[in-house]
A and B are shown apart, each in its own frame.
Chain A
């Protein structure tokens, strides 16, 4: 029994069952909605139980990770081998639990999703996406992670399917599909390039990642990181995000943004030491910051709240990528947890606004609590002191050597925080009366409590204060990243202190600026959008990337048509086909003519040759010649006799 629940295989097998259940719900769930909910719900609870059992088995064995690795494509030890491996460790189990809790909380809020035309699709999507995220975090090799990311994408695509019988939603689904696929393909390509020159890629075998001289490691690692970054749907691939959708914000945010991003970070965070050894991370850190800047810029002027929210979340994931690049695994994990939980809480809260109360009702208590939830969610996501993300953001801000770099990073972070508070103040101004259940209204608070620093770091401030004088119990990060990480997390006192003041200043200024621009009667951002409509349209449409893309596509199409016309029709058809036929015909005609002439001449010559003897024989045959011959021969003989006598 101990072996049964202790091995990584059991967890992987359970995930496979959950995946099959998701497929079954998708196929058969339309007429059995209640059964569908129960099946997925029970299996999610079961997954939590599996996580708990797995955790207890790890604790029993001194928290040593368990591994299972096998060759999948090519034998394990051959260069280029594609292997699959499952890693059961505290970090993976924790993230699996997080994804499961998130799925469960959203699924339990059936009131939010009551208007969805095909509820079985989003139920199946939650099952499939949870499996995808879980696989990504327990995978020991990139290849299995790609399967996990693929499943998370599939879950997002399926969730969009509840509305894709309309053209608008179909376009959203299409864009989501191909943009995600591009990222996945580039990541696979990068991994293939890395795999081509070394023994199997896996997290445990750190030596295998040492950069090989003269190899294409930088290109491979760069493509891998680029492909994974594209999955975060930050600038320039914000296409499907800014396309309008009728789905509740919680579905779009959780299934189409949070879960795919969680799956991606399952690879990135595991791979961080190896990517750093190859040397590509700082570059991508700056790329991520730049992308976040552009994404936020686009989000500020969006007229629809859900688009603004989605862009803010995408920008947040870019910031997390940047923290990973500059500050390492645990910082990124802390910021990621805060952002994921904060974003999910915010989306549940704004979705609750759509559950309208009866006309004339004056009780706005529920709406007020929703607004409080919105503010708390933004606080969790942006690293306000007391949340787990605060410690991570502080370490990230403290890492910069030069003030110019610190200013650049701080400015982008300021804009990110400003955008968050802007969204919160926009929600604050909503006047509708919500009739969501108290269960729905408390759900965001559950997530916000989970995002508290106390839960993860054992300190009230989220390890924001140097040497943690507010520590109440040991940090969970000691278990997730090893006790040696405590030294890394401690950081430099002076740098942390100045970063703390910077963080507090950013939060305060952003909060006040957001109130002044968006919290009062007039929204200055919308006013600016109306004053500069063309510039605003340029920003909100994603900086014209779509137009450029369509222009490139048009060129490709024209090139393809031209090649088809030139080679298929002209070269092979007219030139090759017609010319060849004409050549053959003309040659045949020439030969035929020559043959005819030759035959004619031959006939004439033969005729002439046989004509004389023929005429002679003819004369002989028709009788007259006989007598002439007789007389001639007779005359000749007479003359001969005469001369012989004489």
Chain B
């Protein structure tokens, strides 16, 4: 049955973006106010569609729901094929929550606001499209679409080194996309009749197929799996392909970096899970240990590197690298608890990173920087903020606590599932994960103490607490984390059946 909820969700932000570009002037009304409200309305409208879509999903089934299929380029078997199941439902939720928050966070943007909102709306369209696409070409289309806006967002609204950071981000994205596209083409031509449809390709059983280059035979599934993994690793900022990410952390506006860390990275991992579990189960089974090893290395590097950081934005970047490692632990564990944990952690991680990233932006707005420790050991640039801004202290404490996995918050559920799933098969990786988490716990407490507790720093001047608008847009993130931590059952009931079905094909 064709249900147009997904299309509405995907296209509404695009319509909003077009409106931003061709916004008519309204007499007596400031154009920037019109632009803001239009952007927020479009984003919220799409997000509401997303919420309705997920809430109306049937629980206990692994089947695709809300399917929409239209022929697009029939001669090449490319179709507009959309659907939602347990694997992508939480990504839809994540995108639905985050993008209206990002637009609200840039409410007072004075320079090129329309352009910025338009780009955010294009990103929202792209990510919704990636999440729901069931046709490889369509998926790649939206995925590639999601790369370009970041170039402009960083390059125009970024810091002093924005051009270099924007260039690095687009180069990394292009290389990753090229590798991914090569894999998709290989897969397309490996089946007869050729097809991009995930369902048809899943039934075609790509294992055992091979292709020839210059007289040498190569296994299709191994090569394609490797290309997909490497291609997505670029955009997921998997170590050592993460340097563009840290540059972006330094130069990009906080809201843009949130879109990178809290949305792009989880979506990249989602794509990897979707393609590898559906198309290359045998390769995944063989490479499970490698994926876990990569995850463990990311965890270790993320934890160790974060301890060396003195700027909140870079700390966030390396925390993201480490947490991605945690998720990979679950992806490679190939058991129900681990994989369910990986899917759940994508949502929770996104919300936590978004909150933390926006908090660093608020700090930057008020104090002019986000450095919390000097390299030369001089007096603290920040301190005692809890007495001046208690609401900010509490809310940022919640985000930090969730990233650390405190009971009662979403991070606890995700981390617990990942540990339960990861340990039986890969105890060493889990021990490495534990060391990294302990290190990160210590350092985040140090960071919190240096920023919020103790004597007020004389450099800070006036430092106001969160305004009503700031509280309003942080509230969905806090509520999401509390809900995910206290009552994860409804979401887990969505995810589990799909994961169990996918694992049955792997094993």
Taking beta carbons and an 8 Å cutoff, which residues of A are in contact with B? 71-74, 78, 80, 82, 143, 146-147, 150, 161, 164-167, 169-171, 173-174, 177-178, 181-182, 184-186, 188-189, 192-193, 195-197, 216, 219, 553, 556-561, 563-564, 567-569, 571-573, 576-577
Complex partner residue of B424 from A169, A216, A560, CB under 8 angstroms: A216
B438-482 contacts to A (CB < 8 Å): 438-439, 441-442, 445-446, 448-449, 453-456
* Cα(A549)–Cα(B392), bound, Å: 31
Given contacts A196-B421, A560-B309, 14 further A-B contacts (CB under 8 A): A174-B446, A174-B448, A178-B442, A182-B442, A184-B407, A185-B405, A185-B438, A192-B423, A193-B423, A196-B337, A216-B427, A563-B305, A567-B242, A569-B243
For A197, the chain B residues whose CB sits under 8 A away are 424
Could you give 14 example pairs across A and B, Cβ below 8 Å? A73-B417, A74-B337, A80-B336, A147-B408, A167-B454, A170-B454, A177-B448, A185-B405, A186-B434, A192-B419, A197-B424, A558-B308, A560-B306, A572-B244
Q: How far, in Å, is A13 (CB) from chain B's closest CB? A: 14
In the complex where A192-B420, A196-B337, A557-B308 touch, is A573 in contact with B448 (Cβ < 8 A)? no
The complex places the Cα of A98 from the Cα of B222 at a distance, in Å, of 63
Contact A572–B454 (Cβ < 8 Å):
no
> How far is B386's CA from A646's CA once the two chains are assembled, in angstroms?
129
Cα–Cα distance between A216 and B340 once the two chains are bound (Å): 22
Residues on A with C-beta less than 8 A from B405 are 185, 188
Is the beta-carbon distance between A146 and B407 smaller than 8 angstroms? yes
**Cα distance, A627 to B404, chains bound together (Å):** 102
A561 and B305 alpha carbons, distance in the complex (Å)? 6
Q: How far is the CA of A571 from the CA of B239 in the complex (A)?
A: 12
Which of B241, B244, B416, B423 contacts A216, CB < 8 Å?
A: B423
Q: Do B243 and A573 touch across chains, with their CB atoms under 8 A apart?
A: yes
Are B453 and A178 closer than 8 Å at their CB atoms?
Answer: no
B354 → chain A closest CB, angstroms: 22
In the complex, what distance in Å separates the CA atom of A560 from the CA atom of B435?
Answer: 14
Closest beta carbon of chain A to B23's beta carbon, Å: 39
Top 4 nearest A-B pairs (CB, nearest first) are A572-B243, A560-B308, A170-B453, A170-B454
Q: Contacts A553-B307, A567-B240 hold; do A165 and B454 have CB atoms under 8 A apart?
A: yes
Q: How far is the CA of A101 from the CA of B398 in the complex (A)?
A: 30
If A71-B489, A164-B453, A189-B434 touch, whether A174 touches B445 (CB-CB below 8 Å) is: yes
The reply to whether B434 and A185 form a contact with Cβ atoms under 8 Å apart is yes
* A161: B residues at CB distance < 8 A: 386
Q: Are A72 and B406 in contact (CB under 8 A)?
A: no
* Smallest beta-carbon distance B64→chain A, Å: 23
| B115 interface residue per 8 A CB criterion | no
Of A150, A167, A558, the residue contacting B455 (CB under 8 A) is A167
CA distance A567 to B244 in the complex (A): 11
Task: With both chains docked as a complex, state the minimum distance between the C-beta of B209 and any C-beta of chain A, in angstroms.
Answer: 33
Q: Which of A169, A178, A559, A577 has the most CB of B within 10 A?
A: A178
Measured between alpha carbons, how far is A167 from B387 in the docked complex, in Å? 13
* Most A-side CB within 10 Å, residue of B240, B241, B421, B454: B454
CA distance A445 to B434 in the complex (A): 45
- Note all chain A residues with C-beta closer than 8 A to B38: none
Grouping DSSP codes into helix (H, G, I), strand (E, B) and loop, the B interface class, with mixed when no group exceeds half, is helix
B492 sits at the interface (CB 8 A): yes
The docked-state distance in angstroms from the alpha carbon of A182 to that of B87 is 32
Residues of A within 8 A of B415 (CB): 188
Bound-state CA distance A553–B438 (Å) is: 12
Contact A73 B453 (CB under 8 A): no
Q: Which of B234-268 contact A (CB under 8 A)?
A: 239-244, 246
Q: Check B445–A177 contact: CB distance below 8 A.
A: yes
Q: Is B304 an interface residue (CB 8 A)?
A: yes
Whether B46 sits at the interface, judged by CB under 8 Å, is: no
| B453, A150: Cβ atoms closer than 8 Å | no
- Chain A facing B: main interface SS: helix
Instruction: Name the one of B240, B242, B412, B423 contacting A196, with C-beta atoms under 8 angstroms.
Output: B423
Complex Cα gap A58–B171 (Å)? 69
Residue contact B307 to A556, C-beta cutoff 8 Å: yes
Contact of A73 with B492 at beta-carbon distance under 8 Å, contacts A164-B454, A196-B423, A197-B424 already known: yes
Determine if B131 is an interface residue (Cβ-Cβ < 8 Å): no
CB nearest neighbor in B for A561: B308
* Contact A557:B307 (CB < 8 A) given known A174-B448, A192-B423: yes
Residues of B within 8 A of A557 (CB): 307-308
Q: Which of B379-395 contact A (CB under 8 A)?
A: 384, 386-387
Complex contact B307–A73 (CB within 8 A)? no
Taking CB atoms, residues of chain A closer than 8 Å to B386 are 161, 164-165
Asked if B301 is an interface residue, CB under 8 A from chain A, the answer is yes
Q: Which residues from chain B contact A173 at a C-beta distance below 8 Å?
A: 449, 453
B53 part of interface (Cβ distance < 8 Å) = no
The CB with the most chain A CB atoms within 10 A, among B336, B337, B415, B430, is that of B337
Tell me whether A564 and B308 are in contact in the complex, defined as CB-CB below 8 angstroms, given that A165-B384, A193-B419, A197-B424 are known contacts.
Answer: yes
Q: Are A181 and B340 in contact, with the CB atoms below 8 A?
A: no
Q: Does B488 contact A (CB under 8 A)?
A: yes
- In whole angstroms, how far apart are the Cα atoms of A165 and B386 in the complex? 8
Q: With the chains together, A178 CA to B446 CA distance in Å?
A: 9
With A171-B449, A174-B453 known to touch, is A73 a contact of B423 (CB < 8 Å)?
A: no
Distance between Cα atoms of A74 and B242 in the complex (Å): 34
B220 within 8 A of A: no
> A196 and B424 in contact (CB under 8 A), knowing A560-B305, A560-B307, A568-B243?
yes
> B residues within 8 A CB of A559?
304, 308
Contact present for B240 and A571 (CB under 8 Å): yes
Most chain B CB within 10 A, of A219, A558, A559, A564, is at: A564
Given known A216-B427, A560-B305, contact A178–B455 (CB-CB < 8 A): no
B420 engages A196 (CB within 8 Å):
yes
Residues in A with CB closer than 8 Å to B243 are 567-569, 571-573, 576
| Assembly CA distance A396 to B88 (angstroms) | 57
Q: Would B453 and A185 count as touching, CB distance under 8 A?
A: no
Instruction: Give the docked Cα–Cα distance between A182 and B445 (Å).
Output: 11
* Interchain CB contact (< 8 A) of B387 among A143, A165, A182: A165
Q: Which residues of chain A are within 8 angstroms of B240 by Cβ–Cβ distance?
A: 567, 571-572
B413 at the interface (CB under 8 A from A): yes
* CB-CB nearest in chain B for A150: B407
Q: Which residues of A contact B301 (CB under 8 A)?
A: 560, 563
Interchain nearest-CB distance for A523 vs B (Å): 34
Chain B residues with CB under 8 Å of A164's CB are 386, 453-454
Q: In the complex, what distance in Å separates the CA atom of A188 from the CA atom of B386?
A: 29
Assembly CA distance A82 to B488 (angstroms): 11
Assembled-state Cα–Cα distance A576/B175 (Å)? 13
Q: Compute how far the CA of A78 lies from the CA of B337 in the bound complex, rounded to whole angstroms.
A: 10
- Expressed in whole angstroms, the minimum distance between the Cβ of B343 and any Cβ of chain A is 13
Which residues of chain B are within 8 angstroms of A171 by Cβ–Cβ distance?
449, 454
